[in-house]
Chains A and B, each alone.
Chain A
Amino acid sequence: MARILIIDDDQTICKMLSTMVSEIGHDTTCRYTLNEGLKEVVSNPYDAVLLDVQMPDGSGLDILPKIRETPSSPEVIILTGFGNVDGAEIAIKNGAWDYIQKTDSPRKIILPLQRVIQYRDALKKVQKSTVALRLNGIVGDSSPIRACFNLLAQAATSDANVLLTGETGTGKEVFAEAIHANSPRHSNNFVVVDCATLPEALVENMLFGHERGAFTGADKTREGLIKQANKGTLFLDEVGELPLSVQKGFLRVLQERRFRPLGSRREIESDFRIIAATHRDLDDMVKHGLFREDLLFRLRSMTIALPPLREHPEDIKPLAIHHIYKLCEHYGMETKGFSSGFFKALEAYGWPGNIRELFNVLESTLAAAKNAPTLFEKHLPVNIRVLFAQSSLRKEISAKGDLMEGPNPAKTLPMLQDFHKAMEKKYLQDLIRITMGNIKEACRISGMSRSSLYDRLKRHRLSISK
């Protein structure tokens, strides 16, 4: 059950909202002035505040930042009079979650509230699981990621070899580190062996080390990475790239935990734990003779398959918030607010480069937003915005399509011309919204010339309000 505070001087509205919120199972409290409202939210924790703008003792927008700074840092949804689009924009720019018009239908009012509550629940769960596992900034509460956390916890308590698989940027390395950090080996070395970038000619030298004078140029003894991982963890990253020539020798080391440095007469021991990672299909490599089956068998006593981001889009929002906060801290910037459309646009994209790509995009977005206090869709790279516009359009079309598949399609099917017109209007509305009325951007995204865009807007009686 979430706790919602309603601040509005209109007692009838307070009562109506309060009934609606109680009906979906949450607690509400009403306050009728800004002053009382602020006092209430300072002394009691809330998940969300429904805040009216025009109040007898001032503008709700003025106390919005103060509400966000209270200990429970509730999300704020602004209540506006009909058609006050400017007020809404200011609200979002000042860190409000969303805005609703008092004249909207009850469903429309409840929807953003339900989203806030879902989001707060997710945050609470992440915070809880962090207590049990040291997650070092790993974020996620979707069921695919929670399944991975469970495996992480198992891996951390055992000493079994672990194979992490997943597309690029899905978090294989951060999970490997977290397994080590939560294991009894955490106070010893976590040694990264980057099998993809160690020059083939150097791999054995780096892994096993060498004695002084082992070869020309070896004027100092070198301790191998395997030895450095003694009592700790050896992380074989991109293990699929380990040269076949080295795989055999390495398998022996894995079985015996002893090896001979190059040029040495004596074998030495190392008690290391193996975590390996790859974005390749190792079974397929085995089939093609590119990877040793016996080594693969050893490496994957346990497997954790990290899901691509497109399979857990519900984590995009917490990941984005987490990363933007981190970047703002690094850059010494004020933290940013987010418009709800911003997350919708992120969720509409497929993220082939997964979390790494998301983080790179957020860095560019922050640069594009400069000093703006809130991140909007318009700050995102063009390719992501275009996909968002297209997917909104597709949803609209399929919603219409559903209608057409109703009981009597002949009755509901519009004239093609009308359908086309309606779609065009919807496209233009989305275009204006996404570009925040920036004509240059709108032309770029739509591929229309300025005059043709103005012409169409006029035809649909649409205007550009920034």
Chain B
Amino acid sequence: MSVLLYAPVSKPIRERYQHEIEKLVPREEIETYRTKEDLSSRLRLPRKDIALAVLIATNKKKFLEIFSLCELLGDLRIILLLSDRKEDTIFEGHRLRPRFLGYADSDLKVVAPVLKNMLSVGIESGNLPERSGDPAWVKKESVNAGADLVNSHSAKVT
């Protein structure tokens, strides 16, 4: 099983996301794509082995490119990070039916905890076949980013 990462963004940003995903999934299990054409070709191949897709857009044009692949994305489980918070971008974002919709400029640290839950829930419910011979696929190390975010928030919001 692999995680598909679509990151048509600058190298440093891409590497940051890769790094977050690598906290959970071995590097060789991450399929990274940088252009719409490559992503589109990949989506035209059997995808039973793709556990889910993380799609990142840092500007509207890149987002619209993702959106144009709507039909091919079908019912892949998607984590979508949008380029901006404008109403129409959010509207189109929801039309891709993401399981998690966030923003590229603020949700880097949220990706890992969400991904972690998605991977374990998927396997439990049979949505994702377990990888044969490697039950420890989902790395066990703790991912605290989400907890950090909210621990600090619950401390402040009363």
Contact = CB atoms under 8 A, between A and B. Distances in A.
Interface stretch (B21-29, B55-63, B89-97): B89-97
What DSSP secondary structure best describes chain B's contact surface? helix
B45 A331 contact: yes
Contacts of A225: 101
A65 interface: no
A237 B113 CA distance: 18
Interface string A408-441: 0000000000000000000000000000000000
A191 B45 contact: no
B90 A189 contact: yes
A191 B98 CA distance: 9
Nearest to B153: A215
A189 B94 contact: yes
B146 A217 contact: no
Given A197-B118, A197-B121, A219-B106, A202 B98 contact: no
A210 B106 CA distance: 13
A261 B134 CA distance: 42
Interface in A202-252: 202, 205, 210, 214-220, 222-223, 225, 228, 238
Nearest to A333: B44
A355 B95 CA distance: 22
Interface stretch (A2-10, A335-343, A361-369): A361-369
A367 B46 CA distance: 8
B153 A218 contact: yes
B99 interface: yes
A173 B129 CA distance: 20
A190 interface: yes
B136 interface: no
Nearest to A211: B157
B11 to A, nearest CB: 24
A198 B46 contact: no
A198 B147 CA distance: 12
A191 B152 contact: no
Contacts of A33: none
B72 interface: yes
B44 A331 contact: yes
Interface residues of A, number: 45
A222 B82 CA distance: 13
Nearest to A229: B94
B146 A199 contact: yes
Contact of B48 (A189, A215, A218, A363): A363
B35 interface: no
Nearest to B122: A197
Nearest to B126: A353
Interface in A256-302: 262-263, 279
Contacts of B129: 360
B5 to A, nearest CB: 18
A202 B79 CA distance: 15
B94 A364 contact: no
Contacts of B74: 330
B127 interface: yes
A205 B114 CA distance: 13
A214 B121 contact: no
A197 B24 CA distance: 15
B121 A196 contact: yes
B13 interface: no
Contacts of B46: 331, 363-364, 366-367
Nearest to B121: A196
B140 interface: no
Given A168-B127, A223-B85, A197 B117 contact: yes
A189 B96 CA distance: 11
Nearest to A232: B94
Contact of A279 (B97, B113, B125): B125
A198 B114 contact: yes
A201 B149 contact: yes
A222 B150 CA distance: 14
Interface string A181-204: 000000011111010111101100
A238 B94 CA distance: 18
Given A332-B44, A360-B48, A190 B72 contact: no
A357 interface: yes
A347 interface: no
Interface in B118-158: 118, 121, 125-127, 129, 146-157
B113 A214 contact: no
Given A198-B114, A202-B110, A190 B157 contact: no
A47 interface: no
A199 B98 CA distance: 16
A102 B126 CA distance: 47
Given A177-B97, A191-B94, A210-B153, 15 more contacts: A168-B125, A168-B127, A169-B127, A190-B94, A192-B97, A196-B121, A199-B146, A201-B146, A214-B153, A216-B152, A217-B153, A238-B121, A263-B157, A331-B44, A331-B45
Interface of B: 43-48, 72, 74-75, 85, 90-91, 94-95, 97-101, 103, 105-106, 110, 113-114, 116-118, 121, 125-127, 129, 146-157
The 6 A-B pairs of least Cβ separation, nearest first, read A215-B153, A201-B150, A216-B152, A197-B117, A199-B146, A199-B113
9 contacts: A192-B98, A197-B100, A199-B117, A205-B150, A214-B156, A216-B156, A330-B44, A363-B47, A364-B48
